[in-house]
Structure 1
Amino acid sequence: MANFLFSTLDAGGNVPPAVGIAGELVRDGHRVRFLGNRQQAGQIEAVGAEFRAYDGSFRMTPAEHMSTLQQISMMVSAFTHPGVARDIVEEARRDPPDVVIVDCLLLSGIDAAVRAGLRTAVLVHSFYAFFDGPFRRTPLTAVITARGLGPRRVMKRADRILVCSDPLLDPAGGKNGNGKLAWTGAVVDVAQPADPAPSGSPPKVLVSLSTTAFPGQEGFLHKVLQAVADLPLEVVVTTGPAIDPASFTAPPNTIVHRYLPHRDVMPDCAAVIGHGGHATTMLALGHGLPLVIAPMHPLLDQRMVGKAVQDAGAGLVIKASSSREQIAGVVKTVLDSADFRSATTMVGQRIREADGARTGARVLAGMIS
């Protein structure tokens, strides 16, 4: 039995890949521990992993509404937090792991694990092309690099880099990275692919933007509800913790929830309207669902994810500033076209067959032998 230590943070879509791979390791009989934000305990312990919250002042509050400058400040603090680095090293000294797996956003943690001589894997929960490309050219990363934690320099010193995404969608798919890079495939929890609605029943569409609060997010969601009001659809909206469902007046064909497990909703859906977050997008594609994607934040991976989906013929990208009429037109196009259904069926089959969680577990276990 091997001993694995994960270090993560509560940043939304970064969590499912880590938890999915950890669950596979637990099923294989390995011991798995997590360091994370206190509010993550239930989700992590549900797969049989041990959990310990970070000590000290490290907090993540992505659902709080704040300005772009405040968001950047929060992210810089989280990604370079000295408490994360200290806790990883102290936990490893207290109970030495065989492998430490650190979220790619926790640059101080990766750096500390490598400096401490620990066998270290970096878990990348979106396209490697984003983290090795646009992410390095943002104001956020300029501040991080000035602190001596440039992403490329820090990550390349790890023993392995696990990219939990589909290599054919990731523009960097197939890179060698001196033999350190390994694409596991998207880590998605798909019980079964989506089935088309019975003849005569209106198609069901899931609308989900993000668990993180973004400027303009609520206004766009209002426009989506107006856009779908007159369409022959059944619409399910999940707002997440950043938006109060009571702030919306839903049309008769729409139900608004704060939270529903997407894996339980998607098998009955015909399409998804989202923001281009990697986790929700890959889960939708894993179910064979085409997407309408409206990126919400210019500094994150949403634009790249949306473009990859559109280039694959699996959906369309729109601007968050689109009118209700434009939104309605794009939704109808995606639902009515057999080409989108055909493309997403193919992508979905590839994602399911890759079995990213299982593949990721095998790569980590292989680091020990």
Structure 2
Amino acid sequence: MSRILFLTWDGGGNLPPAVGVAHVLRRHGHDVAFLGHRRQADYFAREGLRFSAYPTAHDFDVAHPNAPWGVLKVFTDRALGRDAVARAGADPWDLVVVDCYLFGAMAALREAGIAYVTFEHTFDGYLRSAAHGPLGMMVRLRGLSPLALIDAGRSVITPTLPSLDAGHAAHVRHTGPVVSGSPATPAEPTVLISLSTVGFSALTRTWQRVLDAVADLPARVIMTTGPSLDTAALRVPDAVEVHPWLAHSEVMPEVSVVLTHGGHATAMVALAHDLPMLVLPVDAKTDQPTIGATLSRSGAAITLSRRSPASRIRAALETLLADGPHRDAAARLGADIRAMRGAETAAAHLESLATETAQSRQATQPPQSRTR
């Protein structure tokens, strides 16, 4: 049995891939725990995974509107790493797995001589491009080198389809998206609207344009609001089904089209169900535009500006609800995702690394320690 610690943060879509891998590791008999922000405790309790909150690091709540500097503070917070170093010192782990945006944590672990694995939850090519843009510049102003830290780990795990990951580094380990699914079989034309759980400033305005677009649409329409949206501020058509939260794996088998902001987690589970998408990136400073553009090039999606008028959004939905090449493209990608078995593949790689650590530790112990 190996002991594996995940370092995470309250970012919404970053959680499902790590949690999916953790569940496989648990089923294989490993001791798995998460260290994250305080408000994540209920989520991990529902998942049945061991969790502790960072004792000294800056707290963070994804549901509240956050200025860029607030998110940057999380990414560059060395206290996350110091808390992890303290935890590792008091309770040794065979492997530490770090969210790809926690540059401050990586730096603290590296300085303490604690090896880690970088866990990416988006395209590696996007991260490498972003490291040379505004995000990378802001991180470097905090004295951190994002690409050097990502690549300083023992391995870089990228749970996505390599065919979609343009510009990725040769050394990253593409394990496949950590999602499950089978081709959807909706009883009637159905649209699932699932925008970001993050409190982006443009979220409410984008939702209203979308709701205006689906008014009287000849289809069943399901919306999941998430924790950041106040539905009282919206004009919601009577026929739209409103849910604070739905498990995507449970609702997508009934769906024909997914309207999304372009989060990697939502996009991959939609493809796992062979579903085409309409992508409306809500925040241009994130990976959402890149994911939207990538899916559009693949033929599985239409990507529009979040400022698009309701009439244009409606026309795109009508196109996607009909049969066409977008369904064939989504089905091809869905078959690739299901074949990769991402959760099991990533878990097997982590198991191998953890075993190497345990064997190395045993080899360096004094003989009398090994026989106790």
TM range (shorter): over 0.9
Which of 145, 148, 152 is residue 150 of structure 1 equivalent to? 145
- Give the deviation of 1:193 after TM superposition: 3.0
Aligned residue number for residue 160 of structure 1? 155
Identity of aligned residues (%): 37
TM-score by length of 1: 0.92
Which of 99, 114, 121 is residue 103 of structure 1 equivalent to? 99
The residue identity in structure 1 corresponding to 2:12 is G
TM-score by length of 2: 0.92
SS of the residue corresponding to residue 96 of structure 1 reads coil
- Give the deviation of 1:350 after TM superposition: 1.0
**1:93-141 deviations in whole A, cap 9, x for unaligned?**
11111110000111111122222222310000000011111x2133333
The residue identity in structure 1 corresponding to 2:257 is A
Rounded to whole Å, the distance in 2 between the matches of 1:101 and 1:45 is: 20
Aligned residue number for residue 194 of structure 1? 184
Aligned residue number for residue 318 of structure 1? 304
Aligned residue number for residue 61 of structure 1? 61
**1:253-290 deviations in whole A, cap 9, x for unaligned?**
31122222222111100000011111111111111110
Aligned residue number for residue 253 of structure 1? 239
The residue identity in structure 1 corresponding to 2:123 is F
The answer (yes or no) to whether the contact 1:26–1:48 under 8 Å persists in 2 is no
Distance 1:292 1:260, change over 3 A: same
The residue identity in structure 1 corresponding to 2:222 is V
**2:364 is aligned with 1:359:** no
Aligned residue number for residue 331 of structure 2? 345
SS of the residue corresponding to residue 4 of structure 1 reads strand
Rounded to whole Å, the distance in 2 between the matches of 1:365 and 1:182 is: 14
- Give the deviation of 1:213 after TM superposition: 1.6
**1:281-314 deviations in whole A, cap 9, x for unaligned?**
1111111110000111111101110111111110
Aligned residue number for residue 183 of structure 1? 174
Which of 207, 210, 228 is residue 214 of structure 2 equivalent to? 228
Aligned residue number for residue 43 of structure 2? 43
SS of the residue corresponding to residue 176 of structure 1 reads coil
Runs of 4+ in 1 over 6 A off after TM superposition: none
Aligned ranges 1:237-316 → 2 under 5 Å = 237-316=223-302
- Give the deviation of 1:214 after TM superposition: 1.7
The residue identity in structure 2 corresponding to 1:154 is L
Aligned residue number for residue 90 of structure 1? 86
The answer (yes or no) to whether the contact 1:270–1:335 under 8 Å persists in 2 is yes
**2:200 is aligned with 1:214:** yes
Runs (5+) with no aligned partner, structure 2: 357-372
Rounded to whole Å, the distance in 1 between the matches of 2:222 and 2:133 is: 34
Aligned residue number for residue 6 of structure 1? 6
Rounded to whole Å, the distance in 2 between the matches of 1:250 and 1:148 is: 46
- CA RMSD of the aligned region, Å? 1.5
The answer (yes or no) to whether the contact 1:244–1:258 under 8 Å persists in 2 is no
Rounded to whole Å, the distance in 1 between the matches of 2:47 and 2:218 is: 39
SS of the residue corresponding to residue 163 of structure 2 reads coil
Runs (5+) with no aligned partner, structure 1: none
